[in-house]
Structure 1
Amino acid sequence: MRIKTFEEYQVAYKQSVDDPEGFWAEVAQQFVWRKPWKKVLSWDFTEANIKWFEGGVMNITENALDRHLADKGDQVALIWESNDPEDKAISITYRVLFDQVCRFANVLKKHGVQKGDRVCIYLPMVPELSVAVLACARIGAIHSVVFGGFSAKSIADRINDAECTMVITSDGAFRGNKVIPMKATVDEALVQCDTVKHVIVMTRTRTPVSMLKGRDLWWEDEVKLVDSVCAAEPMDAEDILFILYTSGSTGKPKGVVHTCGGYMIFAAYTFTNVFQYEPGEIHFCTADIGWITGHSYIVYGPLCCGATSVIFEGVPTYPDASRFWKIIEKHKVNILYTAPTAIRSLMSFGLDYVNGHDLSSLTKLGSVGEPINEEAWHWYKTNIGADDCPLVDTWWQTETGGIMISPLAGITPEKPTFASLPLPGIQPVLVDESGNEIEGNGVSGNLCIKFPWPGIIRTTYGDHERAKQTYFSAYPGMYFTGDGCLRDEDGYYRITGRVDDVLNVSGHRIGTAEVENAINMHLGVVESAVVGYPHDIKGQGIYAYVIAEKSVHDPEMFKKDIAATVSRIIGPIAKPDKVQFVTGLPKTRSGKIMRRILKKISEGDVNNLGDTSTLLDPAVVDDIKKGAL
């Protein structure tokens, strides 16, 4: 399954384009199947209908756990590093993880969770999060992991959309020097949710919590009441494995659906090839399992390949900016996969925190979440990789399930800031605004994919029409990524940023409409418009233009109130970095806000605003320019 030379990559890529079904069938045969598939692929992008390995029966946990027990049972599957560096790291072998997953799967079954039921998981980055995810998969329940930084309203929206019957959470979470009240947030969310029958609570912070009789159960008590024998539920390759909510260009988050067979094959194949994973290597992905990166490259991809994964509960700068480097030195980490935001943040602290730490175990570096800028690329490569480690700049999305365009570590010639070449099975195209394919090199356009791959989104949960409209209607016959892209003279791809109304803040996708809706809920706000602007650490910051109901006497206090409102409705990650109070917004005569103009102003490019004559009131633009922050 692992490509070992650039020539092998070229051969595999050609085969994957000439005979996609033969190519992926060959990859799929390396996994454990209960029954073989009847058909490798059927697809229709117009209707957003894609099916891989139909009729094949399997369970992803048999591939992630059971099949390793004979030869890797005593190998470490997960290493957990606590938020507090004084805490002892915990290593969990494949055999112990298997036991814990089966035991917790029996807890779920005991409390009525069945195949197809949805389970919301709102936990800190502790081993139990991986156990809960895998236990759901074991019994065919559909997990919906919600990032621990989201608000009660965001949790309620996700629970209600998926009609979850159970929530798995903790009393609290440690994050840097803060204690976050997880159970209290869930309690607040559940006031608005009537489908949830049980809440399972694990102990982490010993924060006092309210436990409702008949609904709330302690994790530690429940696992003692069941055994650890739990057969894996037979799943069709196209049965749903999980829902993961992501921001869109409307205010309502959409539940991206991934299925069992295709997702498993794509996550494992990309993990093996992009990181050139070799048995025995220690893989440290610093993402949160609440995001797709954690699903694919902490849990499913590495475990399906029998790898050892590090799970980190804390933040890179606590207790100081040497935390990553201490973890790498302590566990002799070989592969580091982190975000440009983290790299830029650590750069800002200088090299004193890096020097003195033995990073010689590192053999491969990776970047994920957003395009990496050249300065951060070189800093990472030189100071962390000693100019000796290949650096893979990976481009992919929640909807793609796994990495799409990336160098293969040590195999693909690198070029700073370029995601480089597509993986086998991925057929990217650049199109103009009219949907015409832009051929040749040295060109740029909107990035689309013209043929399905096994990890592609299948639908948006409960609303298939939304999947069609969002991903397959802009350019008929193609999957539209929402990203702009440049293809240089060598055929290398460089992602140039979102071209729709979605921001990429520290690698988190946040819809402008979602933030605007939250700001507009503040009592004193009439209307708002949100755009992204260049931010030294986050890559993109959030710039909000706000029309207040009456004149603002204390702007700083009002800005704090707006930030608090957004935090409460979405979560702290969506707080605006800049708030400019304006008297009006640049709108067309049909009422559409011209965000292009606002974006230029936020970037300081006030002399290239283009044609403003079509605006309802062009004078508004001059006022906004005068007050620009």
Structure 2
Amino acid sequence: MKYLDVYESWKSDPEGFWMEAAQAIDWEEAPSKALFDRGDHMYEWFADARVNTCYNAVDRHVERGRGDQAAIIYDSPITGTKREITFHELRDRVAGLAGALRANGVGKGDRVIIYMPMVPEALEAMLACARLGAIHSVVFGGFAANELAVRIDDATPRAIIAASCGLEPARVVHYKPLLDEALELAKHEPEFCVIFQREQEIAQLTEGRDHDWHGFRYGTEPAECVPVEGNHPAYILYTSGTTGQPKGVVRPTAGHLIALNWTMKNIYNVDPGEVFWAASDVGWVVGHSYICYGPLIHGNTTIVFEGKPIGTPDAGTFWRVIQEHKVNSFFTAPTAFRAVKREDPRAECLEKYDLSSLRAIFLAGERADPDTIQWLTENTGTPVYDHWWQTETGYTIAGNPVGIEPLPVKVGSPTVAMPGYDVHILDDGGEEVPAGTLGAIAVKLPLPPGTLPTLWNAEERFKESYLTTFPGYYETGDAGMKDSDGYLWIMARTDDVINVAGHRLSTGAMEEVLAAHPDVAECAVIGVADDLKGQLPLGLVCLSKGVERSHETICEECVQLVREKIGPVGAFKLCAVVQRLPKTRSGKILRSTIAKIADGVDFKTPATIDDPAILDEIRVSLAALAARKTATHGVVASDPDSALT
């Protein structure tokens, strides 16, 4: 079948489509039907089924004779460690940990917070919770104590599983002191903590509360898999909220199993037994969906990578891992490859490695600029596919269904909507806009299986955040357009669409132009307040390694490029070179924070920021930009329309 055939088969019979996909899952009790309409635009999938996630991700592969296949490959260039864990070994390790948790009172419905670095034990902790029907909530290792405390109070966990430390290329991140401080700050008190002691740092345990990982497991009976209802929460994953209070995205068990299993072949085009690598972290949704659950449910080997795209030890680390472990399909964020490209613009590190096992590279998490995609395609000789999804959805909204039919790539577009997603581009009044017109991206309800049915203990907030702006639709918060072929173009977050003298403009389109400049490795465009035009675009650019040309000249060229490609209507005149951009730990550029700094608005440093010190660097750069703007009466770089400023 072709993509359109598959998509139309879903659209004409959603119930039949998903019930057929459900046959790939092993059920304790199979679902009687797919969709349950709870009223008021609230839906659940496969609610009357009974199933266990851990059984489908681990045990069934052992029972079917594939226990000796590698389930996890652990590769840590920071510690120099490489090892494999087979499905048989993984089952025994997970069952043992689950048994110890059960012996200490953890059972179905209890919450367990996991605060771990990129080590196999993090996946074991997730799977052990799933084995018992406990609901895990992974918090990114190294998160600030106050933010961890907020999540403890919201999830009210019975237990916390943590590591003594995490490792960065040049430092040890002390997890245990952060955990201790968070427990002091939190109102809720977990019954116990389990600490995985790493050799790089042995943490001091609190008597009566803390247990050593290895001692904790000793002498308890392994636990069997506990079947749960199809609508039982598999996990809670917190995502940033506009109020400062994080939103606990709930992932339902049955839909999660079915949807992720479907994507592994139909989107990522891997067969059971092949090696799939998502270079992310278990603290983010990609780590949940495509380091832990998706590959293992489908019977793939997954890679747990403790390293960085550069600096561990160089810009060739991705290529080394792909060659050594014979990776077939690779998924990471565009920002990772922008870092590689900036460090090694001529791809000289790539020349040492053989990528013949690699069939495709997938990008998501941040808008993939065409220049990065073209650089990757030309240097690797491998197809590069952008795709778009969110923490809330858990898997692809729009992508290239390579396992069904590789569609022509339009660089800059994540391609087309996947089955389950009826995507519309709406104006402020909720009306569909013509092809090629910028608008708000919304998905007609119901959302497909595996997407969030609600927020943890916050149903009204769920409705307010996602369902009220466009009744009958899920509001994605992203802005973009569809072309005449039905390809989707994600241009910016809705908040990043700026209004310049009445013209709605996409900052993403301007970023695309700036990224095409030969000296620019990475960039961000934001809207800043302007008395005359309401807003003006401001471009911040990071240069490739080795560029020594005048920053003023590069900024002038950037202004001219935007004028040529976007037109004078964009009023792009403000441009500055910066050493680096503030990002979350998952690689998203903190554009709204930059805008608040530029406008002199008070803000709270985002909990997800990778390095808060970058904000001071941005302040200095913007202050220098403002001084130059004042000195030139509003013109930072040469501007034919300077009389307008």
Same topology, TM > 0.5: yes
**What does 1:386-425 align with in structure 2 at a 5 Å threshold?**
386=381, 389-409=382-402, 411-425=406-420
Pair 211,277 (structure 1): closer, same or farther in 2 beyond 3 Å: same
Indicate conservation of the 8 Å contact 1:546/1:580, yes or no. no
Flag the structure with more relative contact order, 1 or 2, with Cα contacts below 8 A and sequence separation at least 6.
Answer: 1
Provide the rounded CA distance (Å) in 2 between the counterparts of 1:403 and 1:171.
Answer: 34
Q: Does 1:234 align with 2:246?
A: no
Match of 2:215 in 1: 221
Residue identity in the other structure for 1:169: A
Match of 2:589 in 1: 540
The secondary structure found in structure 2 opposite 1:459 is coil
Kindly state the Cα deviation for residue 183 of structure 1 after the two structures are TM-superposed: 1.0
Indicate conservation of the 8 Å contact 1:16/1:424, yes or no. yes
The secondary structure found in structure 2 opposite 1:217 is strand
Match of 1:166 in 2: 159
Residue identity in the other structure for 1:540: I
The secondary structure found in structure 2 opposite 1:446 is strand
**What does 1:328-407 align with in structure 2 at a 5 Å threshold?**
328-350=322-344, 351-384=347-380, 386=381, 389-407=382-400
Residue identity in the other structure for 1:429: H
Match of 2:107 among 114, 121, 124: 114
Pair 437,480 (structure 1): closer, same or farther in 2 beyond 3 Å: same
Q: Does 1:42 align with 2:36?
A: yes
Match of 1:189 among 168, 182, 192: 182
Match of 1:104 in 2: 97
Provide the rounded CA distance (Å) in 2 between the counterparts of 1:459 and 1:602.
Answer: 48
Pair 534,547 (structure 1): closer, same or farther in 2 beyond 3 Å: closer
Pair 359,487 (structure 1): closer, same or farther in 2 beyond 3 Å: same
Q: Does 1:460 align with 2:471?
A: no
Indicate conservation of the 8 Å contact 2:241/2:247, yes or no. yes
Match of 1:478 in 2: 473
Q: Does 1:324 align with 2:318?
A: yes
Give the alignment's Cα RMSD to 1 decimal: 3.1
Kindly state the Cα deviation for residue 500 of structure 1 after the two structures are TM-superposed: 3.4
Match of 2:618 in 1: 578
Kindly state the Cα deviation for residue 205 of structure 1 after the two structures are TM-superposed: 3.9
The secondary structure found in structure 1 opposite 2:73 is strand
Provide the rounded CA distance (Å) in 2 between the counterparts of 1:338 and 1:436.
Answer: 35
Residue identity in the other structure for 1:453: P
Kindly state the Cα deviation for residue 573 of structure 1 after the two structures are TM-superposed: 5.0
For structure 1, the residue ranges without an aligned partner over 5 or more in a row are 1-6, 506-511, 513-530, 550-561, 584-600, 609-621
Pair 499,167 (structure 1): closer, same or farther in 2 beyond 3 Å: same
Q: Does 1:135 align with 2:175?
A: no
Provide the rounded CA distance (Å) in 1 between the counterparts of 2:635 and 2:110.
Answer: 45
Provide the rounded CA distance (Å) in 1 between the counterparts of 2:391 and 2:598.
Answer: 33
Indicate conservation of the 8 Å contact 1:534/1:540, yes or no. no
The secondary structure found in structure 2 opposite 1:288 is coil
Residue identity in the other structure for 1:363: R
Provide the rounded CA distance (Å) in 2 between the counterparts of 1:405 and 1:581.
Answer: 36
The secondary structure found in structure 1 opposite 2:388 is coil
Match of 1:611 in 2: none
Residue identity in the other structure for 2:431: N
Indicate conservation of the 8 Å contact 2:252/2:451, yes or no. no
Residue identity in the other structure for 2:205: M
Kindly state the Cα deviation for residue 173 of structure 1 after the two structures are TM-superposed: 1.1
Kindly state the Cα deviation for residue 286 of structure 1 after the two structures are TM-superposed: 0.1
Residue identity in the other structure for 1:125: M
Match of 2:198 in 1: 204
Match of 1:522 in 2: none
Pair 416,169 (structure 1): closer, same or farther in 2 beyond 3 Å: same
Q: How does the TM-score come out when normalised to structure 2? A: 0.79
Indicate conservation of the 8 Å contact 1:173/1:205, yes or no. no
Kindly state the Cα deviation for residue 545 of structure 1 after the two structures are TM-superposed: 4.3
Pair 153,25 (structure 1): closer, same or farther in 2 beyond 3 Å: same
Indicate conservation of the 8 Å contact 2:142/2:178, yes or no. no
Pair 548,297 (structure 1): closer, same or farther in 2 beyond 3 Å: closer
Pair 607,301 (structure 1): closer, same or farther in 2 beyond 3 Å: farther
Indicate conservation of the 8 Å contact 1:120/1:145, yes or no. yes
Provide the rounded CA distance (Å) in 2 between the counterparts of 1:47 and 1:256.
Answer: 19
Indicate conservation of the 8 Å contact 1:83/1:174, yes or no. no
Provide the rounded CA distance (Å) in 1 between the counterparts of 2:231 and 2:5.
Answer: 29
Indicate conservation of the 8 Å contact 1:546/1:581, yes or no. no
Residue identity in the other structure for 1:232: C
CA deviation string 1:340-370 (max 9, x = no partner): 1000000012222222111122111110101
Q: Does 1:254 align with 2:303?
A: no
Indicate conservation of the 8 Å contact 2:253/2:450, yes or no. no
Match of 1:67 among 49, 56, 60: 60
Kindly state the Cα deviation for residue 67 of structure 1 after the two structures are TM-superposed: 1.2
Match of 1:589 in 2: none
Kindly state the Cα deviation for residue 390 of structure 1 after the two structures are TM-superposed: 2.5
Deviates more, 1:247-256 or 1:535-544: 535-544
Provide the rounded CA distance (Å) in 1 between the counterparts of 2:265 and 2:207.
Answer: 47
Pair 281,208 (structure 1): closer, same or farther in 2 beyond 3 Å: closer
Kindly state the Cα deviation for residue 187 of structure 1 after the two structures are TM-superposed: 0.7
Indicate conservation of the 8 Å contact 1:286/1:312, yes or no. yes
The secondary structure found in structure 2 opposite 1:180 is strand
CA deviation string 1:491-529 (max 9, x = no partner): 111111101389999xxxxxx9xxxxxxxxxxxxxxxxx
Residue identity in the other structure for 2:157: C
Pair 472,573 (structure 1): closer, same or farther in 2 beyond 3 Å: farther
Provide the rounded CA distance (Å) in 2 between the counterparts of 1:429 and 1:484.
Answer: 11
Match of 1:554 in 2: none
Indicate conservation of the 8 Å contact 1:150/1:572, yes or no. no
Match of 1:614 in 2: none
Provide the rounded CA distance (Å) in 1 between the counterparts of 2:496 and 2:191.
Answer: 37
Identity of aligned residues (%): 35
Indicate conservation of the 8 Å contact 2:142/2:174, yes or no. no
Provide the rounded CA distance (Å) in 2 between the counterparts of 1:346 and 1:403.
Answer: 25
Kindly state the Cα deviation for residue 43 of structure 1 after the two structures are TM-superposed: 3.0
Indicate conservation of the 8 Å contact 1:151/1:571, yes or no. no
Kindly state the Cα deviation for residue 379 of structure 1 after the two structures are TM-superposed: 1.0
Match of 2:75 in 1: 81
Indicate conservation of the 8 Å contact 2:261/2:294, yes or no. yes
Provide the rounded CA distance (Å) in 2 between the counterparts of 1:342 and 1:72.
Answer: 33
For structure 2, the residue ranges without an aligned partner over 5 or more in a row are 498-506, 512-525, 527-536, 543-579, 582-587, 624-633
Pair 450,208 (structure 1): closer, same or farther in 2 beyond 3 Å: same
Provide the rounded CA distance (Å) in 1 between the counterparts of 2:286 and 2:611.
Answer: 17
Kindly state the Cα deviation for residue 394 of structure 1 after the two structures are TM-superposed: 1.2
Kindly state the Cα deviation for residue 208 of structure 1 after the two structures are TM-superposed: 4.0
Match of 2:171 among 161, 178, 183: 178
Indicate conservation of the 8 Å contact 2:15/2:33, yes or no. no
Match of 1:16 in 2: 10
Pair 99,607 (structure 1): closer, same or farther in 2 beyond 3 Å: farther
Indicate conservation of the 8 Å contact 1:547/1:581, yes or no. no
Provide the rounded CA distance (Å) in 2 between the counterparts of 1:446 and 1:94.
Answer: 44
Indicate conservation of the 8 Å contact 2:25/2:257, yes or no. no
Kindly state the Cα deviation for residue 458 of structure 1 after the two structures are TM-superposed: 1.2
Provide the rounded CA distance (Å) in 1 between the counterparts of 2:538 and 2:54.
Answer: 40
Provide the rounded CA distance (Å) in 2 between the counterparts of 1:303 and 1:86.
Answer: 25
Pair 147,174 (structure 1): closer, same or farther in 2 beyond 3 Å: same
Provide the rounded CA distance (Å) in 1 between the counterparts of 2:437 and 2:19.
Answer: 34
Indicate conservation of the 8 Å contact 1:136/1:142, yes or no. yes
Pair 31,442 (structure 1): closer, same or farther in 2 beyond 3 Å: same
Provide the rounded CA distance (Å) in 1 between the counterparts of 2:637 and 2:164.
Answer: 45
Provide the rounded CA distance (Å) in 1 between the counterparts of 2:271 and 2:486.
Answer: 29
- Find runs of 4+ consecutive structure 1 residues off by over 4 angstroms: 501-505, 531-539, 544-549, 580-583, 601-608
